[in-house]
Structure 1
Amino acid sequence: MRLATIRTGNGHACVRVDDDQAVEIGHADVGALLADPDWRSVASSADGARHDVDTLDYATLIPNPEKVICVGLNYLDHIAETGRERPSHPTLFPKFARSLTGAYDDVPLPRDDESTSADWEAELGVVIGSPVRRASADEAAAAIAGWTVVNDLSIRDYQRHTTQFMPGKAWEGSTPVGPHLLVAEPGTTADTPSFPISCIVDGVVMQQSNTRELCFGPIDLIEYASTFVTLVPGDLLVTGTPGGVGMARDPQVFLRRGQTLTTVIDGVGECRNRLV
């Protein structure tokens, strides 16, 4: 089952995407649906207004998550290209709801007098579907609603102003999420999923890996994060990027206005964003 949040003439609507049709579920967005403990059956049985999939205007998957928790340094090849050592614990930092944008929306780059070091980071997003605190591995698996596509587009000089990542990671409107939530079937999420992941800039492949190469998989991340805070439905975990970022190249390569940034996770979906 695939779910999405779309823009309509009346605001946002949560839909179930069935082949060439999207069926309204009766909630304002995917986050609102996940707040219902019976969300799986509600979504699967919904029979609301229908939309042609080709006409959909996708909003960001969860417009107002309580938390967006991101992970740095979580693929071995990315750790190596940054010159860091493999971390003993997940490296976490936050984003905010205003950082998020739709899967096909234009992404505004900083003004030239602010920064010219915008960089790509293809990432697997994990969406929480039930509250969890101090989770065991089984509880962490059960809390996963599903998967989505994210690009943690990063403003590198702001990221490196101090030892704290956040200013370069939370730029407004910089983080495409969606277009769908690929719902995880209960009981099938105990292991790190194996999804090919890539990032393409103007047709050139810049990153190519597989999510099985994560140092800390979704279960590890939920266990760790839920130790210090309750994870709630609609929270988004952004699991880290593989090697191939522009900052680590010689010479360095950064994004420019007019380019198209495409983020692909095979079996999950694709974000495609023009940089403006």
Structure 2
Amino acid sequence: MKFAMYHDRAIVINPDSIQLINGVKDIQSLLPHLNDKLFLSSKRTRPADQDLSAPIAEPKQIFAVGFNYRDHLNELKTKAPKTPNIFTKFVSSIADPHPTVKIPSPMTDWETELVIVIGQGGRQISKDKASKHIAGYMVGQDLSDRKLQFENDQPQFSLAKSYENFAPIGPWITTPDEIEDLSKLTITTELNGQEKQHSQLGNLIFDPKDLVSYLSNITELYPGDLIFTGTPGGVGAGRDPQEFLHPNDQLISKIDQLGELIINFK
């Protein structure tokens, strides 16, 4: 099941009578973060994609993972982490799937990512039970101001990635039963029509089950929490010469079967 947000109401994108009943039952813990009413959409009621809102507007926690694709490690000349490299993005950075983003510095960069949506929270979740705690997946864009990030000798991740609209998500949540094999999905980034990132989710060093288990063994997870799982190679800072975003640029972040984000800059 796929569901999105429009004018504060949850919209089921592709309802199936049996799967819908099961799906709604499975996502009950998420409803307070969405709305207390689900309604079925049809061709007459479904809004245009550009009118969709962020499916999770106010998550309690946003985790993000650095250096989780080997090609990204290589381009930044960084060693592979022994355990997931975790930082956070602040909730005020959440944006709709089609935002216009004000560029804070001439070193603003792109990072398209798979986002995990937590359904059932908890602590001490084992890897073999982690799937039961995942409500679904989205596309996310982890925009990054490299100037602020590397202004000091030690990198500052969270603030540099938390400007207004620096966390576009959506365009909808896709529940796991909709995806036959997550690892085979392709993740891409296009800047002004030119492909900048291209990989498969199977190239993640730490997969969603690893991340849910790891985080829950340190901190409690709550319904509606988001986990940005990391970006593949091809970011602007890793290019020679480096490339960054400019006013009037358009960025498209896409994952097969999960939809796309269309982001404009000013």
**TM-score normalised to structure 2 length:** 0.87
Q: CA deviation at 1:58?
A: 1.2
Match of 1:107 in 2: 101
Count the aligned residue pairs.
249
Cα gap change, 1:15/1:166 in structure 2, threshold over 3 Å: closer, same or farther?
same
Aligned to 2:30: 35
Q: Secondary structure at the match of 1:53?
A: coil
Give the Cα–Cα distance (whole angstroms) in 2 for the partners of residues 141 and 148 of structure 1: 15
Distance apart, 1:193 and its partner CA: 3.0
Checking the alignment, whether the CA contact within 8 Å between 2:137 and 2:175 is kept in structure 1 is yes
In structure 2, the partner of 1:169 is 161
1:127 paired with 2:117, answer yes
Corresponding residue for residue 18 of structure 1: 14
Instruction: Give the alignment of 1:230-245 within 5 angstroms.
Output: 230-245=220-235
Structure 1 position 171, deviation (Å): 1.4
Please give the per-residue CA displacement for 1:84-138, whole angstroms capped at 9, x wherever unaligned.
101001111111221010111212211xxxx210111010001001012111112
RMSD of aligned Cα (Å)? 2.4
Distance verdict in 2 for CA 1:225–1:70, change over 3 Å: same
* Residue aligned with 2:216, SS: helix
Q: How does 1:179-258 map to 2 (within 5 A)?
A: 179-185=171-177, 193-258=183-248
Aligned partner of residue 179 in structure 1, secondary structure: strand
Structure-2 separation of matches of 1:97 and 1:124: 17
C-alpha distance in 2 between matches for 1:163 and 1:257? 25
CA distance in 2, matches of 1:243, 1:210: 11
- C-alpha distance in 1 between matches for 2:54 and 2:81: 31
Shift in Å, 1:273: 1.0
After superposition, what is the alpha-carbon deviation per residue over 1:196-236, rounded to whole angstroms, capped at 9, x for unaligned?
00000000000000110000000000111001111111100
Q: Name the counterpart of 1:24.
A: none
- TM-score normalized by the length of structure 1: 0.84
Distance 2:64 2:49 in 1: 31
Residues 98 and 172 of structure 1 are in contact (CA less than 8 Å); yes or no, is this contact kept in structure 2? yes
Q: Could you tell me which of 128, 142, 147 is aligned with 2:132? A: 142
Q: Residues 6 and 56 of structure 1 are in contact (CA less than 8 Å); yes or no, is this contact kept in structure 2?
A: no
Structure 2 counterpart of 1:27: none
1:65-93: CA deviation from partner (whole Å, max 9, x where unpaired): 00000000000000011111010011111
Gaps of 5+ in 2: 16-26
**3-state SS, counterpart of residue 255 of structure 1:** coil
DSSP 3-state at the match of 1:193: helix
Distance in 1 between residues matched to 2:231 and 2:58, nearest whole Å: 23
More helix by share: 2
| CA shift digits 1:221-276 (9 cap, x unpaired) | 01110011111111000000000011011111000010101001011110001111
Counterpart residue number, 1:2: 2
Could you tell me which runs of 5 or more consecutive residues in structure 1 were left unpaired when the two chains were aligned: 20-31
